[in-house]
Amino acid sequence: MTVRDVSFLAVVFCVSGVMGILLGVLCHGRARLAIASSVVVSLLFFMALEWRFGSSEEWPWQSPIANSAYLFGPFLLLVAAPTVGAALLAGRWVRRR
């Protein structure tokens, strides 16, 4: 991996965290709503990233689930976990105030 790749992944991680904070504040401390909305938003964000930056060979139409299972790890670590975690932390912070 090059420095450019690592910096892109760091930006994706930070953007996911910011989206999670915004969702946590908008959900006013309701944990179930924050989790559900952050999962949906993170899926949409990851789909947009794959649509914009993914190659045409990355999503083969013959067996898309079997050949693209490797996308689950990056989705979980770079997009879903920071979004859900930040939404829950921001929701807890809003609830305490």
CA–CA separation, 76 and 66 (whole Å): 17
Could you give the number of structural domains in the chain? 1
The answer as to whether 13 is a domain residue is no
pLDDT at 37: 94
The overall pTM is greater than 0.75: yes
Domain that holds residue 80: 25-51+71-97
The answer as to whether 86 is a domain residue is yes
The answer as to whether 18 is a domain residue is no
Q: What is the mean pLDDT of the chain?
A: 85
Q: Could you give the angle at which helices 3-26 and 31-53 cross, rounded to 10 degrees?
A: 150
- As a residue count, the chain comes to 97
The answer as to whether 9 is a domain residue is no
The answer as to whether 32 is a domain residue is yes
The answer as to whether 19 is a domain residue is no
The answer as to whether 45 is a domain residue is yes
Mean pLDDT of 50-66: 68
For 60-94, the DSSP string reads -SSSHHHHTGGGHHHIIIIIIHHHHHHHHHHHHHH
Q: Say which residue, 55 or 94, is predicted with more confidence.
A: 94
Mean pLDDT of 12-27: 94
